């Protein structure tokens, strides 16, 4: 049952926006300073790759924490604690004097970030239920904007000679202050279970056919996102004989076009319906990618990446909206299963892409890892039985 709060919808939305920025803005700042930090620590490419791979274990631990605690601890409480830990940990990452210390601080940061991402996403679903319309896309777009803004702030800070630890501390202090003021405005959902209910029973409730199917759709969507982030730029660079500048533009093209569409995808879905929008997007995106990226030429490749961003903007909002409508589980429990579906994609897609690119041209590797999941997702959604299973209605 949704929780009815007495605060205005605009106040809830603002508080949720700050919670999302607590995740995306510091991360964007950090990614913009990674080359500088790597050089300052004197880390080789191999050492840095190993260090960041170990640090991603924090995401696995964070997801395990969410799965165990969600439903037993109030979702808003988990989000606020995770935000506090994440905001405190990110400056410590920049202050790490050696690679081992950086690995530990990064692991803590990634753990807290995973918990914050899952719980903040769940609170958006609660907010969406209360509003009665889809707003997930707005917060997804805000995440992209936070990442891009963080990168731009890093560029400015480097030019101004501001140390990365100072920059992160300043950014995190502002976010922490705003979140402390607005914390009471965050939506919430009550605990669904007592401490006596066994974990296996709580997991069994979440492993219903509709929730599992939504987890599969989340996996497919994440494979597409991960493939685009890793290989869109490489594809563009190869299309013009190794242009680093155009390579850096690749993922930006995808994210920029996707972010714009995320702002309107909810309104479009209200007119067309999620199923019709999804099938139309797949029907347009896959041929455009095959023609554009498959050509191996710059201009068609750029247009193909734009279509990839536009054509996949529906995926996240659709899956989250349908997950939020599952009445057998709470928003937090549904969101935890989506996160469980996403995690393998981000861990394994870079490896799969590398193996494919070793035997095929990069453009064909990119096409396999984008068109394949899109077609599989389209086939699932085209099945009336599958669509009814996840609670869809109409077209």
Q: Where are the domains of the chain?
A: 9-184, 205-389
Do 9-184 and 205-389 share a fold? yes
pLDDT value, residue 363: 82
* Local confidence band at 5 (pLDDT 50, 70, 90 cut-offs): very low
**Beta-carbon count within 10 A of 165 CB:** 17
pLDDT value, residue 191: 66
pLDDT value, residue 230: 67
Longest alpha-carbon distance in the chain: 62
Q: Per residue in 233-247, pLDDT tens?
A: 777 767 655 555 565
Q: Is residue 306 within 8 Å of residue 259, measured between CB atoms? A: no
- Average pLDDT score over residue span 239-258: 67
User: Per this entry, what is the length of the chain?
Assistant: 395
Which H or E run includes 70?
Answer: none
Q: Per residue in 69-115, pLDDT tens?
A: 887 888 899 999 999 999 999 898 888 888 888 888 989 999 999 99
Place of tokens 């279970």: 193
Superfamily of structural domain 9-184: MFS general substrate transporter like domains (1.20.1250.20)
Which H or E run includes 45?
Answer: helix 45-55
pLDDT value, residue 131: 83
pLDDT value, residue 336: 82
Q: Which residues lie across from 73 on neighbouring strands?
A: 70
pLDDT value, residue 160: 85
Closest CA to 300 of 212, 222, 367, 356: 367
Q: Per residue in 140-197, pLDDT tens?
A: 888 888 888 887 888 888 888 888 889 999 999 999 999 999 988 888 876 665 555 5
**How far is residue 8's CA from residue 268's CA, in Å, rounded to a whole number?**
25
Q: Which of 8-12, 60-64, 181-185, 287-291 has the lowest mean pLDDT?
A: 8-12
205-389 under CATH 1.10.150.20, yes or no: no
């Amino acid at each position: 049952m949704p929780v009815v709060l007495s605060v205005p919808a605009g106040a809830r939305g603002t508080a949720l926006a700050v919670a999302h920025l607590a995740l995306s803005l510091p991360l964007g700042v950090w990614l913009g300073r990674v080359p500088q930090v790597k050089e300052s620590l004197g880390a080789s490419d191999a050492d840095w790759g190993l260090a960041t791979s170990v640090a991603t274990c924090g995401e696995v631990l964070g997801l395990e924490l969410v799965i165990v605690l969600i439903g037993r601890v109030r979702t808003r409480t988990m989000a606020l604690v995770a935000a506090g830990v994440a905001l405190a940990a990110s400056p410590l990452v920049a202050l790490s004097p050696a690679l081992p210390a950086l690995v530990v601080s990064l692991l803590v940061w990634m753990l807290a970030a995973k918990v914050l991402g899952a719980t903040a996403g769940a609170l958006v679903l609660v907010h969406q239920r209360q509003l009665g319309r889809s707003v997930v896309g707005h917060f997804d777009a805000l995440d992209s904007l936070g990442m891009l803004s963080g990168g731009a702030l890093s560029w400015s800070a480097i030019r101004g000679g501001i140390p990365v630890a100072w920059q992160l501390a300043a950014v995190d202090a502002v976010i922490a202050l705003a979140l402390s003021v607005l914390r009471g405005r965050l939506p919430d959902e009550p605990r669904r279970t007592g401490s006596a209910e066994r974990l296996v029973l709580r997991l069994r409730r979440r492993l219903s056919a509709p929730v599992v199917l939504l987890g599969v759709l989340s996996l497919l969507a994440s494979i597409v996102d991960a493939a685009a982030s890793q290989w869109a730029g490489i594809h563009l660079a190869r299309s013009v004989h190794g242009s680093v500048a155009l390579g850096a533009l690749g993922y930006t093209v995808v994210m920029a076009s996707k972010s714009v569409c995320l702002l309107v995808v909810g309104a479009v879905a209200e007119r067309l319906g999620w199923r019709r929008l999804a099938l139309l997007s797949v029907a347009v995106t896959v041929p455009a990618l095959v023609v554009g990226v498959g050509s191996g030429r710059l201009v068609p490749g750029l247009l193909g990446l734009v279509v990839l961003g536009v054509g996949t903007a529906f995926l996240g909002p659709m899956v989250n909206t349908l997950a939020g409508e599952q009445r057998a589980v709470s928003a937090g429990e549904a969101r935890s299963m989506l996160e469980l579906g996403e995690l393998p994609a981000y861990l394994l897609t870079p490896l799969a892409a590398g193996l494919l690119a070793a035997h095929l041209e990069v453009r064909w590797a990119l096409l396999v890892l984008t068109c394949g999941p899109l077609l599989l997702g389209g086939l699932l959604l085209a099945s009336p039985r599958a669509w009814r299973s996840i609670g869809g209605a109409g077209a």
